[in-house]
Chain A
Amino acid sequence: SQELEQSPQSLIVQEGKNLTINCTSSKTLYGLYWYKQKYGEGLIFLMMLQKGGEEKSHEKITAKLDEKKQQSSLHITASQPSHAGIYLCGADRSQGGKLIFGQGTELSVKP
């Protein structure tokens, strides 16, 4: 079983619609990272969350970490074709530097 579960695995939305991607860990996290990856390219850093209940926003993307620091959500408001890609959550569970990653959520936005 995955140590970090992402849902859904894939998502197709109409341009302008809102969407949410979830990331769940069975253990408390020291840090939760969200990245975006275009097919065949590197990972683009989006946000890092560390404190329980923390919420961060950048443009139309908002990420939250729950109070128990085991679940995070990424919310995109008024989606655009430029938001398409694979969204990955990564977690630091030991403060040791290494991140474990979920399997990713593939987002398609239809114009």
Chain B
Amino acid sequence: NAGVMQNPRHLVRRRGQEARLRCSPMKGHSHVYWYRQLPEEGLKFMVYLQKENIIDESGMPKERFSAEFPKEGPSILRIQQVVRGDSAAYFCASSRRLAGGDEQYFGPGTRLTVT
């Protein structure tokens, strides 16, 4: 049973380009969460999605960031016009149902470097 898959594992973008990060949840999981780990900072929640729905985006920056989890295919975290401050490790997690009652498993992360 494959775990949470993320790709790419490493992504380099120049300032102003777009970054697309993909996450495939564990089999049987329909809840996806995105977190960001900035250098010298802790792991911070960004957004929580179910299939075709954004449930909680309270941690998402207001501009340039968007997320989706379509009916078919992986969840996508999209960062437009990247800046150096977006350089971080982005982690995706998945669970079967609400994290209040179920285990949340993390992927290996995508390390974004903005040059």
Q: Are B42 and A103 in contact (CB under 8 A)?
A: yes
Residue B38 interfacial (CB < 8 Å): no
Residue A15 interfacial (CB < 8 Å): no
Q: Are A42 and B33 in contact (CB under 8 A)?
A: no
Q: Are B100 and A98 in contact (CB under 8 A)?
A: no
Q: Are A98 and B106 in contact (CB under 8 A)?
A: no
Q: Which partner residue on chain B sits nearest A95 by CB separation?
A: B100
- With contacts defined as CB atoms under 8 Å apart, how many contacts are there between chain A and chain B in the complex? 70
Q: Is the interface of B mostly helix, strand, loop or mixed?
A: strand
Which of these binds chain A: B14-22, B55-63, B66-74, B79-87?
B55-63
Q: Which residues of A contact B100 (CB under 8 A)?
A: 30-31, 92, 94-97
Chain A nearest Cβ from B24, distance in angstroms: 14
Chain B nearest Cβ from A58, distance in angstroms: 13
Q: Are B98 and A43 in contact (CB under 8 A)?
A: no
Q: Are A43 and B91 in contact (CB under 8 A)?
A: yes
Residue A59 interfacial (CB < 8 Å): no
Which listed residue (A41, A45, A103) contacts B108, Cβ 8 A?
A41
Chain B nearest Cβ from A106, distance in angstroms: 13
Q: Which residues of A contact B106 (CB under 8 A)?
A: 35, 42-45
Q: Are A104 and B42 in contact (CB under 8 A)?
A: yes
Interface residues of A (CB under 8 A from B): 2, 30-31, 33, 35, 40-45, 48, 50, 88, 90, 92, 94-104
Contacts A43-B106, A96-B56, A100-B45 aside, 17 further interface pairs with beta carbons under 8 A come to: A33-B103, A43-B43, A45-B103, A45-B105, A94-B100, A95-B98, A96-B55, A97-B33, A97-B56, A97-B95, A97-B100, A98-B33, A98-B56, A98-B58, A98-B59, A99-B104, A104-B42
